[in-house]
């Protein structure tokens, strides 16, 4: 109730332990706190918090317009309600190396289990769009070194994302990944890989945990869990899936109301009140309230 039962440190430690097993961990995206409750209820391994989804929720494109305050507070809201570890997208770190260091400390203190920092020039672009600009390797490694040194909890996962595949080619992207690991990255997110062979080559060359981004409508094939396990990947994210599902339902539902003048015909497509209360653990809050108001000290009367 209110918060998950596990502390942030416990969630980070559990995340590291699961990563060490080598099995594939599935992290669906949550664009809102209630979604992370469903992710946990359905037995997934963790929660992913997408910068693209948070931008879209604010009615903004994913080009680096969100601030550290907006992203960190929303990240806290989404991660606090679940016992699952939450991995958050911090784009380019909200500034230069010192800003990246501060960002990591903020997210660590707010209870996140890890973050990924990318090597695009700000203002950035969605990872599956063309014409992205990449910062020099030295600039990115300075950010990663600063961010790594800023960690207080060794279990906080610092992941480096490279968008170099689209602009510099796969071999250059792999070289960047190796430099990023040397600079302090605990894991690697190779963005927008374009097929089985590319996934395989990155795994052969990189010996830290790897993340696969299974975003819809992108350049990457939507590989299955079994396929990613065969390839030896460690984390699969489904970053904007919850937002896309919910927004399609909202659009269709409001269109029906506009056309028909009532929602009578679409009530069966809605989550019921009972199911909503089940997801948000309404009865737990009710029991808490009753216990407090029925509480009496020994010898205390009704006055």
Burial 137-167 (b: 16+ CB within 10 A, else e): beebbbbbbbbbebbeeebbbbbbbbbbbbe
User: Does the annotation count 191 as an active-site position?
Assistant: yes
User: Does the annotation count 291 as an active-site position?
Assistant: no
Catalytic residue from among 12, 31, 125, 161: 161
Catalytic residue from among 40, 45, 106, 118: 118
Sheet bearing 157-162, strands edge to edge = 47-49, 86-89, 114-118, 157-162, 187-190
Catalytic residue from among 31, 45, 74, 91: 91
- In whole angstroms, what is the distance from residue 272 CA to residue 278 CA? 10
DSSP tally for the chain: helices H, then strands E: 13, 8
Catalytic residue from among 40, 89, 163, 186: 89
- In whole angstroms, what is the distance from residue 44 CA to residue 120 CA? 30
Catalytic residue from among 45, 62, 108, 163: 62
- In whole angstroms, what is the distance from residue 259 CA to residue 57 CA? 26
Q: Characterize the bridge pairing of strands 157-162 and 235-238.
A: unpaired
84 CB neighbour count, 10 Å cutoff:
24
User: Does the annotation count 115 as an active-site position?
Assistant: no
217 sits in the region (left: phi over 0; alpha: psi -120 to 50; else beta) called left
Catalytic residue from among 12, 48, 106, 177: 48
Catalytic residue from among 31, 116, 128, 145: 116
Catalytic residue from among 128, 191, 199, 244: 191
User: Does the annotation count 48 as an active-site position?
Assistant: yes
Catalytic residue from among 199, 213, 233, 238: 213
User: Does the annotation count 213 as an active-site position?
Assistant: yes
Q: Which helix (H) or strand (E) holds 73?
A: helix 68-80
Catalytic residue from among 40, 115, 119, 126: 126
User: Does the annotation count 128 as an active-site position?
Assistant: no
Name the residues annotated as catalytic: 48, 62, 89, 91, 116, 118, 126, 161, 191, 213
């Amino acid at each position: 109730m209110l918060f998950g039962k596990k502390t942030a440190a416990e969630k980070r430690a559990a995340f590291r332990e699961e990563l060490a097993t080598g099995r594939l961990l599935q992290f669906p995206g949550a664009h809102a706190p209630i979604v992370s409750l469903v992710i946990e209820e359905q037995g997934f391994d963790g929660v992913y918090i997408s910068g693209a989804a948070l931008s879209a929720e604010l009615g903004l494109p994913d080009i680096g317009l969100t601030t550290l305050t907006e992203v960190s507070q929303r990240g806290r809201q989404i991660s606090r309600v679940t016992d699952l570890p939450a991995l958050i997208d911090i784009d380019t770190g909200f500034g230069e190396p010192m800003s990246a260091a501060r960002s990591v400390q903020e997210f660590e203190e707010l209870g996140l289990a890890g973050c990924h920092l990318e090597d695009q020039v700000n203002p950035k672009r969605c990872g599956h769009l063309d014409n992205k600009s990449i910062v020099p390797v030295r600039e990115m490694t300075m950010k990663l070194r600063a961010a790594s040194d800023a960690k207080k909890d060794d279990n906080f996962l610092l992941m480096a994302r490279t968008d170099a595949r689209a602009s510099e080619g796969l071999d250059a992207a792999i070289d960047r990944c190796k430099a990023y690991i040397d600079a302090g990255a605990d894991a690697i997110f190779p963005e927008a890989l374009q097929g089985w062979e590319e996934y395989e080559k990155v795994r052969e060359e990189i010996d830290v945990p790897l993340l696969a981004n299974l975003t819809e409508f992108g350049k990457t094939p939507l590989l299955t869990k079994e396929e990613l396990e065969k390839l030896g990947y460690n984390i699969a994210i489904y970053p904007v899936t919850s937002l896309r599902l919910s927004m399609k339902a909202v659009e269709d539902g409001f269109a029906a109301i506009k056309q028909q003048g009532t929602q009578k015909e679409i009530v069966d497509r809605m989550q019921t009140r009972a199911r909503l209360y089940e997801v948000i653990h309404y009865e737990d809050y009710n029991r808490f309230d009753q216990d407090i108001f029925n509480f009496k000290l020994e010898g205390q009367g009704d006055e």
